[in-house]
Amino acid sequence: ATAGPAVLTRELDGAETLLREHVGVRVRGFRAPGWNVSRALYARLAARGYRYDSSLVPLPGSGLLAALPRLVPGWSGPSILAGQRSWPTPPARPYPLDLERPWAPANRPDLHGGLWEVPCGVASGVPIPLNATVSALLGDRLARLTEAVASRSPAPLVFVFHGLDLVDWSTELH
């Protein structure tokens, strides 16, 4: 969220190149690491022709989640939710993103490059995002209950995975 224009450009260029080389398609969507977003990032995504972002977390009081680095011993990850901590809670359903007010649907989506926000999934009534890291911290039983509650919501369910979440650790890696 605090990266300057040169850093944003370099990181987006590098990620797009790697994904195009390994997946063979043009990048059309984005999710910021640690949900770290800014208006400048959204402007760059729209200018590059991205169609959607999935970096906002529709949690009231997302500042509580932002405290995770202080609550988890040994946390060395990026600052969670940087940039959106002081923003109002976004809608839980996808919406055309307003580049000036990313937490709010655009009145005229055509003026904002057609970038849509597809908010990360949360369990209705349970103030946590749905992702593999949180599920691992909750344990199987509580994670399944949280996911079952979330699946009852009329909003699309966006469950975030990281590359490491998809590794089969029971096999030997070479």
Read off the pLDDT band of 14 (50, 70, 90). Answer: very high
User: By 3-state DSSP, what share of the chain in percent is helix, strand and coil, each rounded to 5?
Assistant: 40, 10, 50
| Higher-pLDDT residue of 143, 13 | 13
Question: pLDDT at position 154, please?
Answer: 73
- Say which amino acid occupies 44: R
pTM of the model: 0.75
The tens digit of pLDDT for each residue in 74-106 reads: 665 556 677 777 788 888 888 999 988 999 999
CA dist., res. 167 & res. 30, Å (int): 21
Q: What pLDDT digit, counting tens, does each position of 17-59 carry?
A: 998 998 898 989 998 887 888 888 999 999 999 999 998 888 7
